[in-house]
């Protein structure tokens, strides 16, 4: 622990250096994919701290909440939805933004503008598959769609249903288009999905729409309106319905993917966006407990977050490995984790992550003590426990 503390305090250890093993793992995983594309999922998470020793906390939404704003771009296999590795990380603090893309602190920008910065950086990563940037509704912006398209970036973004577009010579909201397509029986039942732990069916329909008018962009002086040409995009509408045909959820997806990628595939790729939510859960509550870390500032938190992300990436690689040896290792890690798992799902990512941490600690002990020495210590110091066993 002392060595790790000194490591994160060391100014010679940079975020750009720490992210390189992750990018290498992502590159290797994408190379093995069965798809011509790879998904780069963008998302943000608030890290809340009440440690008064941290010097650069920022005020977060909510009453008396302080912490950091974490931004991650996670690479996901477009062939099977397996998470490969976090490729980019930013942490916003009161003194600036720490990023894996630069050695210098940057000025904070809106989340939607961070996406373009990562898009541009991804072109230098030399990914072996075509990157598709997948983002939730926070990136729904006409000015950004135009800029991304002009620069040749491919994206899938969940749009707000109230957004108005031109379709079949009418100006309609996405909600109105969805209702008309449903009445025309244009939706196709494409697959079974899990929705909030329940089995459901996913239905998909598609339309070509034109986005017109002024876009909006945030600046230091406030929001400005930006004119631009009409932009034609594909609208993919994905609905989740239960066994009684009750509508549970609807996604309005805008994309500039070519027609060769089917609407059912696009809806599946967005469904896999939840991989990044699972990653944040691992980091915050199911393994790494990032909001309990005691490092004194955001830079040290960002460094440790990248090291923790390496553990997550190693576990994902283990789960993706089809060999019998990998299955045996999974069994060992679940046992050593001490976690209870369901009979229907005996191996979980949190259990593997916990088991990996425990195993590495045990291996460190075994470098100093043999099993016989440990048994002797146990008998001498805890005889009641050893007698009862």
Reported as a single tens digit per residue, the pLDDT across 17-32 is 999 999 999 999 999 9
Q: What are 50-94's pLDDT values in tens digits? A: 877 888 999 887 767 899 999 999 999 999 999 999 999 999 999
What's the confidence (pLDDT) of residue 387?
63
| Domain coordinates in residue numbering, the chain | 158-261, 321-382
pLDDT at 363 over 60: yes
Of 156, 132, 165, 162, residue with least CA distance to 232? 165
Looking only at the bridges linking them, the beta strands covering 198-211 and 188-195 are antiparallel
User: In terms of pTM, does the model score above 0.95?
Assistant: no
- Residue 341: which of 326, 329, 330, 327 has the closest Cα? 330
103-150 pLDDT, tens digit per residue, is 899 999 999 999 999 999 999 999 999 999 999 999 999 999 999 999
What mean pLDDT comes out for the span 250-264? 97
What's the confidence (pLDDT) of residue 219? 67
Q: How far apart are CA 271 and CA 367, in angstroms?
A: 45
* Percentage of residues of the chain with pLDDT beyond 70: 97
pLDDT at position 65, please?
Answer: 85
What is the per-residue pLDDT for 221?
63
pLDDT of residue 3: 81
**pLDDT the model gives residue 388:** 53
- pLDDT at 336 > cutoff 70: yes
Q: How far apart are CA 46 and CA 17, in angstroms?
A: 24
Question: What's the angle, vertex CA 18, arms to CA 13 and CA 21, rounded to 5?
Answer: 145
Query: Which residues have a Cβ under 8 Å from the Cβ of 175 and sit 6 or more positions away?
Result: 161, 162
**pLDDT band of 99, cuts 50, 70, 90:** very high
pLDDT at 118: 97
* Paired strand residues for 159: 252
Split at pLDDT 50, 70, 90, the class of 386 is low
Closest C-alpha among 269, 280, 356 to residue 311: 356
Look over the chain and give the mean of its residue pLDDT values, rounded to a whole number: 92
Torsion angle of the four alpha carbons 216, 218, 220, 222, in this order, in degrees rounded to the nearest 10: 60
Query: How many Å apart are CA 151 and CA 128, to the nearest integer?
Result: 19
Q: Which tens digit of pLDDT belongs to each residue from 143-191?
A: 999 999 999 999 999 999 999 999 999 999 999 999 999 999 999 999 9
Q: What is the pLDDT of residue 209?
A: 98
Cα–Cα–Cα angle for 182, 188, 190, rounded to 5 degrees? 140
Residue 389 above 60 pLDDT?
no
Mean pLDDT, residues 206-213: 96
Specify the pLDDT at position 282: 93
Distance CA 77, CA 69 (A): 26
């Amino acid at each position: 622990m002392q060595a790790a503390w000194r490591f994160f305090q060391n100014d010679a250890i940079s975020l750009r250096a720490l992210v390189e093993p992750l990018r290498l793992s992502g590159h290797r995983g994408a190379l093995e994919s069965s798809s011509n594309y790879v998904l780069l999922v963008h998302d943000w998470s608030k890290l809340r701290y009440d440690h008064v020793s941290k010097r650069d906390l920022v005020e977060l939404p909510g009453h008396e909440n302080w912490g950091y704003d974490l931004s991650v771009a996670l690479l996901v296999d477009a062939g099977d939805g397996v998470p490969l590795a976090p490729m980019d990380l930013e942490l916003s603090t009161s003194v600036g933004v720490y990023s894996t893309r630069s050695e210098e602190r940057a000025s904070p920008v809106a989340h939607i503008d961070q996406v373009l910065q990562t898009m541009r950086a991804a072109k230098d990563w030399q990914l072996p598959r075509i990157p598709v940037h997948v983002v939730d509704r926070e990136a729904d912006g006409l000015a950004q769609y135009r800029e991304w398209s002009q620069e040749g970036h491919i994206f899938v973004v969940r749009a707000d249903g109230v957004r108005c577009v031109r379709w079949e010579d009418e100006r309609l909201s996405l909600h109105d288009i969805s209702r008309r397509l449903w009445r025309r029986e244009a939706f196709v039942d494409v697959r079974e999905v899990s929705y909030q732990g329940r089995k459901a069916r996913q239905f998909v329909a598609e339309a070509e729409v034109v986005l017109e008018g002024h876009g909006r962009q945030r600046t230091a002086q406030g929001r400005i309106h930006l004119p631009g040409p009409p932009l034609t995009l594909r609208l993919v509408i994905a609905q989740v319905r239960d066994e009684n045909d009750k509508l549970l959820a609807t996604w309005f997806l805008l994309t500039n993917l070519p027609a060769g990628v089917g609407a059912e595939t696009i809806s599946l790729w967005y469904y896999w966006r939840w991989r990044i939510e699972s990653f944040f859960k691992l980091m915050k509550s199911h393994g790494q407990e990032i909001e309990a870390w005691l490092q004194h500032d955001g830079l040290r938190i960002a460094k440790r977050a990248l090291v923790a992300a390496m553990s997550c990436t190693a576990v994902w690689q283990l789960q993706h490995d089809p060999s019998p040896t990998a299955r045996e290792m999974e069994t060992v890690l679940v046992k050593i984790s001490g976690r209870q798992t369901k009979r229907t799902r005996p191996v979980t990512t949190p259990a593997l992550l916990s088991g990996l941490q425990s195993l590495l600690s045990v291996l460190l002990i075994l470098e100093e003590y043999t099993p016989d020495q440990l048994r002797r210590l146990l008998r001498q110091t805890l005889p009641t426990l050893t007698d009862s066993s």
